[in-house]
Amino acid sequence: MIVDDDQDARELIGQVLAEAGYLVEVAGDGFEAIAKLPRALPDLVLTDMRMPGMDGVDLAQRIRSQSDVPVVLTTGADTFDLCTKAEAYGAVACLTKPINLDELLWTIDCALACLRGTNRVVSASA
């Protein structure tokens, strides 16, 4: 599931992930994501850190308190402190915008491999 208040970002990342073979669900904010979670049952949530209403850290914390779904955060602010805070609340990774798409695919692949309990990571783009 991609959660971002920027529609262009949601569409671009969604297209990249769909082309890599992932099924994609999107949400425009944290509240919409929380509402969709029980129905969508995503394997992973990719969320922007800074969104109005509920930021990505709050969303990660709520998701991780309810499930084992890995959360990857993205941020336009290149700050170590924000990423450290996000990881303390359950995010498995924090990527800086503009997102390197190869790094995004690798990060998702690693998170899903860890979720499945495997140590074999194969790039979704391979």
Sequence-distant (6+) residues with CB within 8 A of 38 are: none
The sign one gets for the Cα dihedral 103, 43, 63, 34 is: positive
Closest by CA position to 15, among listed 96, 101, 87, 118: 101
Amino acid at 63: I
Closest by CA position to 47, among listed 81, 64, 115, 38: 64
pLDDT in tens, 16-28: 999 999 999 999 9
Question: Residue 57: pLDDT band by 50, 70, 90 thresholds?
Answer: confident
The better pLDDT of the pair 67, 4 is held by 4
Q: What is the average pLDDT across 64-71?
A: 88
The mean predicted confidence, pLDDT, of the chain is 85
- Residue identified by tokens 């990249």 is 16
Q: What is the pTM of this model?
A: 0.86
Question: Residue 124: pLDDT band by 50, 70, 90 thresholds?
Answer: very low
CA distance 95 to 112: 16
pLDDT in tens, 81-119: 767 777 777 788 888 888 999 999 999 998 888 876 644
Q: Are strands 91-96 and 26-27 parallel, antiparallel or unpaired?
A: unpaired
**In the prediction, which pLDDT does 84 show?**
73
Amino acid at 27: A
9-28 burial, b if ≥16 CB within 10 A, otherwise e? bbeebbebbeebebebbbbe
**In the prediction, which pLDDT does 117 show?**
62
